[in-house]
Amino acid sequence: MPVVVGFSTKPEGIAALKVAADEARLRQARVLVVPNTEADDPGPHIDALTEAGVEWELRPAPVTREIAEHLMEIADEVEAEMIVIGLRRRSPTGKLLLGMNAQRVLLDAGPPVLAVKAD
């Protein structure tokens, strides 16, 4: 069962990719990389997966739906072992409200979700 990762070129997306690589290596699984948008090219960051020695596959970014829905649909389709997403650092007040997509994945996804912050 694969590890699905929501990827963006922001620091939290890059951190999520690295953690997904570590989790996949531990679980002897492959990684499905799902860009948040068509502009989020994981190419320069794929080395994290190669260096971890895990197989990976790039899935298309969502075109007509939100990333949360797209990510959960792919995870269900492939019976993912887990989903990894990146979270931004927030102010104390901002911590009360997660980003809409992150909150939706955390609350509605079937498989376990691992949320990570950038260094």
Total domains, the chain: 1
Q: Which domain holds residue 40?
A: 3-117
Rounded Cα distance, 34 and 84, in Å: 10
Helix (H/G/I), strand (E/B), else coil: 53: coil
We report the CATH number of the domain holding residue 31 as: 3.40.50.620
Distances (CA, A) of 31 to 45, 91, 92, 95, 112: 13, 31, 33, 29, 15
Residue 33: per-residue pLDDT = 97
pTM of the predicted structure, to 2 decimals: 0.89
pLDDT by residue, tens only, the chain of 119 residues: 999 999 999 999 999 999 999 999 999 999 999 999 999 999 889 888 888 899 999 999 988 888 999 999 999 999 999 999 998 765 554 544 456 788 899 999 999 999 999 87
Helix (H/G/I), strand (E/B), else coil: 117: strand
Name the residue type at position 115: A
Helix (H/G/I), strand (E/B), else coil: 115: strand
- Looking at residue 36, the DSSP 8-state letter turns out to be S
